[in-house]
Amino acid sequence: MNRAFSLIEVLVSLTIASMSIAALAHSASSILQARRASDRQQAATLFAERRLEELLALASEELAARDERETAFDATGELAVHTVIEPGPNDSLWHVSVSVDPSLGGGVVRLHTLVYRDRRSP
C-alpha cells in the first residue's frame, strides 16, 4: 500500500520546522547580544582597575582632590570615565573612586577604595 503525505501534513511539518529555525535564530541573536554586553563590561572593568592602580601609585604629594570626567576609547567602543579623589575625615585618609560607563551597553563599573597617605612625610 502506497501512502503519500497529504498537503495538510506537509504544511504542518513545514510550519513546525520554520518555527524551530526561527527560535534557534532568536536564541543565537540573544547570545551574541549578551556576549557583546559582556565584552563591554569586561573592558570597562579592566579600564577601571588600571585607572585605580595608577591613582594608588601616586606619591603622597601628588594626591590632591579632583573630580574629572573624560571619554576613552578601546576596542569595544567609547567609555565614559569619572574619577574622584576627595579627602576623608582626616588629612591622611583619602577616598579614591573610578566609574566607567561603556556607552553601548553593559553596566557602569564603580571601584572605590580608601587610601592612607601620610601627608607629613617629606
42-87 per-position pLDDT tens digit: 999 999 999 999 998 887 677 788 999 999 988 888 899 999 999 8
Q: Answer yes or no: is 104 within a domain.
A: yes
Q: Is there a domain that residue 84 lies in?
A: yes
Q: How far apart are the C-alpha atoms of 34 and 54, rounded to whole Å?
A: 30
Indicate whether 121 belongs to any domain. no
CATH label of the domain that carries residue 90:
3.30.1300.30
Amino acid at 117: R
Would you say residue 112 lies in a domain? yes
Q: Is 2 domain-assigned?
A: no
Phi, psi (rounded to 5 degrees) for 106: 85, 160
Distance between CA atoms of residues 114 and 97, nearest Å: 9
Overall domain count for the chain: 1
**Of 3 and 34, the one with more pLDDT:** 34
Domain residues for the domain of 94 are 7-116
In a domain, 122, yes or no: no
3-class DSSP assignment, residue 49: helix
What pTM was estimated for this model as a whole?
A: 0.73
Q: Is 1 part of a structural domain of the chain?
A: no
